[in-house]
Amino acid sequence: MVGGRNRTSTNLMINGTLALICILWTIPTLGLLVSSFRTRFDIQTSGWWQILPHRSWQLVEEFKPDDSVDRSGVMEFAGAKGTFEELREGVTTSDGKRVRWVGNRRAGRVQIEEQNWTVLTDFTLSNYENVLSGKEYILKNPDGSELKQKGDDMGNAFLNSLAVVIPSTVIPILLAAFAAYAFAWMRFPGRKYLFILVVALLVVPLQIALIPILQDYQRLQLTGTFLAVWLAHTGFGLSLATYLLYNYIAELPRDILESAFIDGASHFTTFMRLILPLTVPALASFAIFQFLWVWNDYLISMIFLGGRADNEVMTMRLAGIVGSRGNDWHLLTAGAFVTMVLPLIVFFSLQRFFVRGLLAGSVKG
């Protein structure tokens, strides 16, 4: 009985801790999503959490004081007394109202406010329209003035990112799957030394390889092309992919492969018909890693694609928006969430294979 209670308490503590961590990780993402649908004025004047029911001060009356009011002394309006400085901060009356002086001392106005339950639900899709398109749009301010601005054209950057990330994920997976099968089930001279070399490449920082690769690309006239980025990401991700897939493929049942060889199947047929279907969890696991790495990459794309607008990927375009629209949080949040949508879809689509792929080869028997 005591042991059962201890296990229950331990489970509750573990589950509670995990739930708290999930909430702490989810709240910023939720705030980013909500802010991306809010207007520029709402973001600048209130927090995103005010979309929830809350009490706030609302204007019920406004008037201009008479010229006879001594603005340098103590003034009284609607039961609230205070100096000009105190009224500028707001003075609360006994019945719960707040009296505020708005404007300068000579031509200001007095506002009477009271607290009411309210929600801020003035949502708009114009933030995404302005971020994704390169067209000009009209921004209306609360005072009625209008400001013409040009969109940031993240739609083209989104397509460029897809053009980079899909080949940069598929190519290393295919090459690594062939290599992992060869290391696990084929016998050839120098197999162990080659595998040690592949594992050793995992500790080589990619930054030290950028300049030599860039020099080679310039000689081959590949700089500024998508092929340059595909080859770079393939080279940098191939070692990890081979290592992960080798651990999984090496633990597959030997009886299945021996039966295939007895039936006359070649290594290629065995790989295509047996190995690939059985290694789907490991393939999906590495696909998530590689996809997120390439999608969020800024350094490699910046170096090998250059700064041309027609070659910009999402990270480069978002960095440009941050530099040019540092105060326009309604556009920054929309742009940031656009960059998150596809990685989230990929992760949740493949997450059932994720843990299985990470544990590949870690437990025998």
Please state, in angstroms and rounded to a whole number, the distance separating the CA atoms of residues 179 and 181.
5
Tokens of 277: 């279907």
In a domain, 126, yes or no: no
Strand partners, 82: 75
- Those residues whose C-beta lies under 8 Å from the C-beta of residue 299, and which sit 6 or more positions away, are 207, 210
Please state, in angstroms and rounded to a whole number, the distance separating the CA atoms of residues 205 and 207.
5
CB atoms within 10 A of CB 164: 24
Residues 313, 305: contact at Cβ < 8 Å? yes
76 is in which domain, residue-wise? 53-118
Residues 50, 123: contact at Cβ < 8 Å? no
Among 8-17, 162-171, 219-228, name the most confident range. 162-171
Is the same domain home to 88 and 3? no
Q: What is the pLDDT of residue 167?
A: 94
User: CATH number, domain at 339?
Assistant: 1.10.3720.10
- If you search the block for the tokens 């009296």, which residue do you land on? 99
Please state, in angstroms and rounded to a whole number, the distance separating the CA atoms of residues 249 and 247.
6
Q: What is the pLDDT of residue 150?
A: 65
Mean pLDDT for the stretch of residues 163-174: 92
Please state, in angstroms and rounded to a whole number, the distance separating the CA atoms of residues 331 and 73.
46
Is the same domain home to 102 and 231? no
pLDDT of residue 327 exceeding 80? no
Please state, in angstroms and rounded to a whole number, the distance separating the CA atoms of residues 76 and 68.
12
The count of domains in the chain is 3
Is the same domain home to 68 and 165? no
Q: Give residue-wise pLDDT tens across range 76-115.
A: 888 888 888 888 888 888 788 888 888 888 878 888 888 8
Is the same domain home to 298 and 341? yes
User: Which tops the pLDDT comparison, 232 or 257?
Assistant: 232
Residues 89, 146: contact at Cβ < 8 Å? no
Q: What is the pLDDT of residue 230?
A: 92
pTM check: above 0.75: no
* CA distances from residue 308 to 165, 295, 325 in whole angstroms, order as listed: 18, 18, 19
pLDDT of residue 313 exceeding 50? yes
Compute φ and ψ for 77, nearest 5 degrees.
-140, 125
- If you search the block for the tokens 């544990």, which residue do you land on? 359
User: Which tops the pLDDT comparison, 7 or 65?
Assistant: 65
Domain-terminating residue out of 91, 118, 145: 118
Mean pLDDT for the stretch of residues 125-146: 70
Phi-psi region of 224 (alpha: psi -120 to 50; beta: other; left: phi over 0): left
Our CA dihedral for 340, 343, 347, 350, rounded to 10 degrees, sits at: 150
Is the same domain home to 212 and 351? yes
Tokens of 138: 């009209």
Please state, in angstroms and rounded to a whole number, the distance separating the CA atoms of residues 319 and 326.
10
pLDDT of residue 334 exceeding 90? no
In a domain, 133, yes or no: no
In a domain, 135, yes or no: no
Question: What's the sign of the alpha-carbon dihedral 15, 18, 24, 27?
Answer: negative
Mean pLDDT for the stretch of residues 336-359: 77
The radius of gyration computed from the CA coordinates of the chain, to the nearest angstrom, equals 31
In a domain, 142, yes or no: no
Q: Give residue-wise pLDDT tens across range 172-219.
A: 999 999 999 888 888 888 888 888 888 888 888 878 888 888 888 888
Is the same domain home to 170 and 245? yes
Is the same domain home to 20 and 61? no
Please state, in angstroms and rounded to a whole number, the distance separating the CA atoms of residues 62 and 99.
10
Alpha helices in the chain (DSSP H): 2-36, 40-45, 84-89, 126-132, 154-185, 191-200, 207-220, 226-249, 254-262, 267-270, 276-278, 280-295, 299-305, 314-324, 329-358
Is the same domain home to 253 and 291? yes
Is the same domain home to 24 and 59? no
Is the same domain home to 14 and 98? no
Please state, in angstroms and rounded to a whole number, the distance separating the CA atoms of residues 89 and 107.
17
Is the same domain home to 196 and 344? yes
